[in-house]
Structure 1
Amino acid sequence: MSNGLAIAAITAVFKNLLEDGLVQNAALSSMGNVLVTTLPPDQISIGVDGQPQLNLFLYQVSENRNADMGKSDAKGGELRYQPTHHQASAEEGAILPLAINLHYVLTAYGNKDFQTEILLGYVMQLMHQTPVLSNAMIRATLNHVATINRSGLLAQAIESTSVEALTEQLDQVRIAPNLFDTEQMSRLWSLLQGSYRPSIAYEVSMMFIGSKKSSLAPGSNKEASNQPQIEKIVASPTNSKIVAGSSLIVYGKNLNGDITRIRLNEGKSLLEPQIIEDNRILFKLPQNLYAGVHQIQIVHQQMYKYQNNHEVVSNDKTFVLHPTTKVSVQKQGFNNQDDSEGTILTVQFNPKVGQQQQVIFRLISTNENNKEVYIFNAPSRNVDDDKIHILITNIPAGSYLVKSDIDGVESYADMNQAENIVALKSGYSKELCHD
């Protein structure tokens, strides 16, 4: 079964394996909390008092030419896909599964003696003891991801399919270290354009992405020809990003039916478009959506219930709702505890940030000669809120662009927007606080 979330699912399972392994290792308790991220290495910035961190980055996807497109035999040997003539005839037009390898670089960050060596040692031991991600492990991890943070980017994406649909195609996934020599590692880090840190490369193999079979029964070509098809979704006006309150244009085919409605995220409530044409539909986003990935379907209902009394729905299509922000300086002066200067920034969001959503702040220097980037994690919240406060000390004085990521979705802010640029007297984030 086809599922475009397979790669993200494997990364999530890999990340969760690392997090669980670190938490359960008593020898690492002296380090405190070890942050595990999946960011590009050039976005990692560790300050003097920064916590130890592991970063898992997918830097390449390649075809697995050693696999013959299929599932492992009973003896656990090579994967093979050998369709019979009957299968090929029955599934005519379907694309055969693709075996691929995922290439990761796992990097340890720390600012104290032996932190990176200890982290890498335990990670290598953990991965040596877990060479295979079983189907049961993948299913359990994805169920955990889908329930622990329902407003998260991957959890919302999983809602558009199912955990069973994801795990059905993956079977066993193998993990093996890919030990690079100095020249290979040098080329990799030159490509990543990040500051080199001790790293290990891993190769995840035997993952299969197939194609969906047609759900139409034989003889239903007429119904298929009238089925609405979504091709793309853009903001209106078309050059803008999708933000809270945006109007969206859905382009496609056969979009105009007897009664045409919009379904968001498989919800029961349907939205009525403002403009309906055969090849495009315009509608305004509701105000209660969180920033993140959302799913759209076009729904055709019958004008008279006695005709068929059923809905005809389009294919699924997703769009990304970007948050907008406005930053203000709430307080700038001296910290009475250590007589150092400090700043409290207030970041206002539209739409509100869900209590379970993960928020990461980035302060990017506007100095052309010194493009420093500082990254902070927001704390957990008990309620949805449109404001988050950041307490900052010990960052070099200067002008900074403040950007935010909510569940991996970047805020709509750039150097031309004065409401997202602040002048700091000093500051390194010691803590993040919530009003």
Structure 2
Amino acid sequence: MNSGLAIASITAVLKNLLEDGLVQNTALSSMGNILVTTLPPDQISVGVDGQPQLNLFLYQVSQNRNADWIGHGAQETNPDNFSRSAQANPLNETSRLAINLHYLITVYGTQDFQTEMLLGCVMQLMHQSPVLSNDAIRSSLKHAASMNRAGPFAQAVASNSFDVLINQLGQVQIEPDLFDTEQMSKLWSLLQGSYRPSVTYQVSMVSISSEKSSNPMVMDSREEASNDREVPVIEKVIASPATNGAITPGCDLILYGKHLDGDITKVRLDGDELTPTVVEDIRLLVKSSPTLQAGVHQIQVIHKEVTDPLSASGISSNAATFILRPRITASAKIPNSDSQQQSEETTIAVQFTPKISPQQQVYLKLISVDEYSDKVYQIRTPPGDLETDTVEISVNDIPSGPYLVQAQVDGAESLLDVDQSKNRVIIQTQNLASSNEDEEMNGMEHQVTALTGGDF
């Protein structure tokens, strides 16, 4: 399939997700039919008699920071092998472009509380779907193509294979990208539309491959090899059952798919070639390095010839992506209440496995577990100059009480286990009483989101 459909496909999948969720929500039944569109905000006009409406608008596309690796990582890791591989297969998966899609979701209502109800339901739907599975993408694309067969998207999809596009998309993650008042004001000024309650989300990672050459003398090595043998296909990448499928540092990776067993089977992870410990036609098991950084990674299965096992070329599978979640241990340093130095700060130290590099973006989320509070405080940590396994932050501006700590490194969130004491801290601040929770917080770079206790 023309991989240029990747962006439109993700928009169609999100639109279908919202449509189905709104229909199934009984709390919204009194509103009647809710229109879901994907138009520029300046083209939407809701009158007094207009029906409630939700609009999903792609306002920006940015390059995923992992795209640098996808295009150049193999060359930097092993330039000799990359050069030989490029000559043998100039159209391989290293030409993929990884991008982030930034969406603005706006709600429109004509009666009291309609916009608030719609906005709350939308955020709940998106929060419940942090990762889009292959099955969900396939189902949504088929539904979108069948709803308007005369539309341009349906016509573009009709003559192509869903499976090929799904493999090109890889794993798609949805995460909130909450704006403050100034950021939202700037965005709506650019859109030149009438402001309505809105929320922003980032969707990553969507991959776009280079088009196959139109030169009949140039053929993808996987297509040429498929005349003689089956091409391996990766359908899913998970970890051992001990982590409920979540991939954490040092865990065994389990690859499920088709035709994975070859004469000589290798796994290419971030440009490094690994030998799987278990090789079956529908499953591979490979050990990942404990130093593999948190974030999004790309993995492929490579079949090599027995006569040339050292060759960098071979029959390669689709490039699947997965998210490596960091492990953390949090502790709080509480100021001495008898100390005469009122400037002593309350700090939280978070230890990371694996270590964090200076190029990675790190957020800490403090989730109140006090029965009288459901506040969540998100703090962006300043970048460091060296690789480190510990981050310390001042929390003087956060109310006293018990909190769960969760970290996000390059979009990969640490597992949140409410039963584990290593993720729980007690904050006691001298200069901010718990009764001041609703006061405006200053002096820290963070965004505050109020969630219900069950949402995290």
TM-score in same-fold range (> 0.5): yes
2:237 is equivalent to residue 233 of structure 1:
yes
Give the one of 393, 396, 400 matched to 1:393. Answer: 396
Partner of 1:260: 265
CA-CA distance at 1:380 after TM superposition: 1.2
Partner of 1:384: 387
Counterpart Cα distance in 1 of 2:312 and 2:364: 50
Give the one of 284, 293, 315 matched to 1:290. Answer: 293
CA-CA distance at 1:203 after TM superposition: 12
User: Which structure has more helix as a fraction of its residues?
Assistant: 2
Give the one of 101, 120, 134 matched to 1:190. Answer: 120
Q: How does 1:172-183 map to 2 (within 5 A)?
A: 180-183=108-111
TM-score (norm 1): 0.56
Task: Name the SS of the counterpart of 1:6 in structure 2.
Answer: helix
Amino acid at match of 2:266: R
2:365 is equivalent to residue 362 of structure 1:
yes
1:401 and 1:166, CA in 2 relative to 1: closer, same or farther beyond 3 A? Answer: closer
What's the Cα RMSD here?
4.9
Structure 1, unaligned runs of 5 or more: 11-57, 64-99, 105-130
Task: Name the SS of the counterpart of 1:332 in structure 2.
Answer: coil
Counterpart Cα distance in 1 of 2:223 and 2:286: 34
Give the one of 250, 253, 258 matched to 1:245. Answer: 250
Assess if the C-alpha contact under 8 Å between 2:264 and 2:303 holds in 1.
yes
Amino acid at match of 2:287: K
Partner of 2:170: none
Deviations 1:160-180 (A, max 9, x none): 66577979xx9xx9x999793
Deviations 1:9-43 (A, max 9, x none): 99xxxxxxxxxxxxxxxxxxxxxxxxxxxxxxxxx
Task: Name the SS of the counterpart of 1:389 in structure 2.
Answer: strand
Could you tell me the percent identity over the aligned residues?
A: 31
Give the one of 397, 411, 416 matched to 2:414. Answer: 411
Amino acid at match of 1:61: K
2:353 is equivalent to residue 425 of structure 1:
no
2:38 is equivalent to residue 101 of structure 1:
yes
Counterpart Cα distance in 2 of 1:382 and 1:250: 36
Assess if the C-alpha contact under 8 Å between 2:365 and 2:376 holds in 1.
yes
2:305 is equivalent to residue 375 of structure 1:
no
CA-CA distance at 1:193 after TM superposition: 5.9
Amino acid at match of 1:410: E
Deviations 1:290-341 (A, max 9, x none): 1011111001111113999941111111111000100122453369898267
1:158 and 1:419, CA in 2 relative to 1: closer, same or farther beyond 3 A? Answer: farther
Structure 2, unaligned runs of 5 or more: 18-36, 42-56, 73-92, 125-177, 185-194, 201-206, 213-218, 433-440, 446-456
Amino acid at match of 2:303: H
Task: Name the SS of the counterpart of 1:289 in structure 2.
Answer: coil
2:337 is equivalent to residue 339 of structure 1:
no
Task: Name the SS of the counterpart of 1:333 in structure 2.
Answer: coil
1:417 and 1:429, CA in 2 relative to 1: closer, same or farther beyond 3 A? Answer: farther
Counterpart Cα distance in 2 of 1:132 and 1:280: 37
- After TM superposition, the structure 1 stretch with the greater mean CA deviation from structure 2, 326-335 or 275-284, is 326-335
Counterpart Cα distance in 1 of 2:104 and 2:238: 41
Task: Name the SS of the counterpart of 1:364 in structure 2.
Answer: strand
Task: Name the SS of the counterpart of 1:226 in structure 2.
Answer: coil
Task: Name the SS of the counterpart of 1:260 in structure 2.
Answer: strand
Q: How does 1:70-109 map to 2 (within 5 A)?
A: 101=38
Give the one of 4, 7, 15 matched to 1:61. Answer: 15
Task: Name the SS of the counterpart of 2:352 in structure 1.
Answer: strand
Task: Name the SS of the counterpart of 2:108 in structure 1.
Answer: coil
Q: How does 1:113-124 map to 2 (within 5 A)?
A: none
Partner of 1:92: none
Assess if the C-alpha contact under 8 Å between 1:334 and 1:340 holds in 2.
no
CA-CA distance at 1:395 after TM superposition: 2.2
Assess if the C-alpha contact under 8 Å between 2:250 and 2:291 holds in 1.
no
Counterpart Cα distance in 1 of 2:227 and 2:414: 41
TM-score (norm 2): 0.53
Task: Name the SS of the counterpart of 2:346 in structure 1.
Answer: strand
Amino acid at match of 1:241: A
